[in-house]
Amino acid sequence: MKSDKTDFIREIINNDLKEGRYKKIHTRFPPEPNGYLHIGHAKAICLNFDIAEEYGGKCNLRFDDTNPTKEELEYVDAIKQDIKWLGYDWEEREYYASDYFEKLYDMAVDLIKKGKAYVCELSPEQIREYRGTLTEPGKESPYRNRPIEENLRLFKEMRDGKYPDGAMVLRAKIDMASPNLNMRDPVMYRIVHTSHHRTGDKWCIYPTYDWAHGQCDSIEGITHSICTLEFQDHRPLYDWFIEQLGIHHPRQIEFARLNLTYTVMSKRRLLELVEGGYVQGWDDPRMPTLSGMRRRGYPPAAIRKFCRNIGVAKTESVVDIELLEHFVREELNKTAERRMAVLNPLKVVIINYPEDKTEELEAINNPEDTSAGIRKIPFSKVIYIEKDDFMENPVPEFYRLAPGREVRLRYAYFIKCVDVIKDKNGDIVELHCAYDPATKGGNAPDGRKVKATLHWVSAKHCTIGEVHLYEHLFIKEDPLDTSGPGDFKDNINPNSLRILKNCRLEPSLSDVKAGTVFQFERLGYFCVDPDTKGNCPVFNRTVSLKDEWEKIKKRKIKE
């Protein structure tokens, strides 16, 4: 099957199929379980699973669990949850590098027997020193030409736990003068006396990524090993190991990783943020992790569409985070039901509305989806509006409520401000307004017009809620752009989270399911946080209603 999509990876695959190099396409997604997945991983997930589906092939999930000092079962479970949430299924093909530890060991023994690997007792510092530089060749280890039988004995003794951490390693014997530093006798195994989350204490030697990666691909019958660009210089080593062993040979292809403005994508740096308490965990809605985006309310369909839209390339670039938010808005506009919520409430008393009267007004759930139907919202004498929707001395182009001015209440009536009530400090605490009963539904029979429509909630019937307003975690487009002795954490935005308590919500929001996203009319999209408890729902702002990407796109066209 040939894909209709065009990019350099699919062109390579199409050519491989045409030439008969492979009959069926088989890809894999190989995360290391040492952290949570982020939006950059989503690009790789979409690419590998989409290609497998397009070509009628398969995609494996394989955990690269070769470093027990940094890996945890927590990360394994989180990674699986994220991939499923994103909409992909590896079916029964869940594998681990640790599944192949015995085979990898046997393959290493095979290389020793062929004179292509040896046990080296240089310290890590000495190995780096002997390695040389980009302009100078390396030096051969004094242990490089050990007899094969001695290497076999020492390697077995390494496995049997006879030696402490760092005492020796197994290295491939390639070329210490190679212009590619990765080919200068790379380490294949190191001694690590640490319990593994799957194999326990069975092993005390663990394969390096460079050694395990290609051989695991080969064992699983992978045809195309799609990696990010930093592995391009490792490809000759990937190929060398497979060629020396004479096993099935996948093709490694590299593509540029995803970089987003106002975002860091390094697991190490994300871990710093978590462990340093700069965020509230891996799933903090300010984090670029998939769990953070899920908690923030990003729809998986929007993430998939974003990843497919940006495509794949061979050169590094930076994508505006506003493009991701554009796809989030686009998806939520179609799927999110509308509600009314007042985040900074100002009390309004409708002086000519009956004291004991309550009306049930009809409101549209989603104008983009007629099947979503309507709901009833209560209207009564006392309501709340946003403080920002009133100005005692309005400036030019402020069309909302002001003394003597008339506005429309969404789904309800026209009201006019007739009095402003202040406290002893001169702060406005209450408005008195008059309503026009003839304008029910928001239209005046005499045809008069108003310039603003406000959202509101009934004071008697509303629910009290908490709202978390999120902004970019960093103040700079490039968080790594620092000056002086500090680091990227100096660019953290002090206003990246604002918590608003005592927000007033329409009563239909009193009993909501965690993860549900609503559009709060005129305010943005908000997701029910999983920590919501009792009768006080907590909402995380997913994105505002304003689409900054359209402005950026127009600016770039002009440039």
Which residue in 257, 347, 416, 522 is the catalytic one?
257
5 counts as catalytic: no
Return the residue matching tokens 């003597």: 404
259 neighbors 319 (Cβ within 8 angstroms): yes
2 neighbors 25 (Cβ within 8 angstroms): no
Q: Report the alpha-carbon distance of residue 295 to residue 326 in Å, rounded.
A: 18
Q: Report the alpha-carbon distance of residue 301 to residue 89 in Å, rounded.
A: 15
Angle between helices 73-86 and 300-310 (to 10 degrees): 80
Please name the residues in contact with 544: beta carbons below 8 A apart, sequence gap of 6 or more: 523, 524
- Cα–Cα distances (Å) from 448 to 209, 402, 443, in that order, read 73, 18, 8
Q: How would you list the strands of the sheet with 517-520, edge to edge? A: 337-339, 517-520, 524-528, 538-543, 463-470, 497-505, 341-342
267 counts as catalytic: yes
Which residue in 32, 359, 430, 548 is the catalytic one?
32
515 neighbors 529 (Cβ within 8 angstroms): no
Q: Report the alpha-carbon distance of residue 412 to residue 360 in Å, rounded.
A: 10
257 counts as catalytic: yes
Which residue in 159, 184, 190, 267 is the catalytic one?
267
Quick one: tokens of 52? 């497998």
Cα dihedral 331→463→458→368 (10° resolution): 10
The residues carrying an active-site annotation are: 32, 257, 267
